[in-house]
Amino acid sequence: MAISDILASIDYDIAQLRQARALLSGGAAPAAKKTAAKLKKVAGDLKKAVGRPKKAAAVAPAATKPAKKKRNLSPEARKRIVEAVKKRWAAKKAAAAK
């Protein structure tokens, strides 16, 4: 496959993407060039030679939030918390004994 054929195929794909973007954004699609038929033929030949790409997996809806990462405490932080809780319960126990 010649480099010119590959470049023509890339140009064709770019033109298709621009047209799709224009349709999705609500704007008018750009005018097609005279070489569009030639580019379609080259792109078709390229797809036959290389094989069709697999379809992309369905995209998750944008409304869902990504899962939060699990936060891990360091052993030092866990020890400080344990000591603070023990101190608090000891003070509560001492107050109840009076």
Confidence of residue 74 (pLDDT cuts 50, 70, 90): very high
Evaluate if residue 41 carries a pLDDT over 80: no
Evaluate if residue 2 carries a pLDDT over 70: yes
- Tens digits of residue pLDDT in 77-91: 999 999 999 999 999
pTM for this predicted structure:
0.30
Comparing CA positions, the residue from 43, 18, 44 lying closest to residue 32 is 18
Residue of higher predicted confidence among 39 and 74: 74
The C-alpha atoms of residue 43 and residue 85 are separated, in whole angstroms, by: 70
Residue of higher predicted confidence among 41 and 92: 92
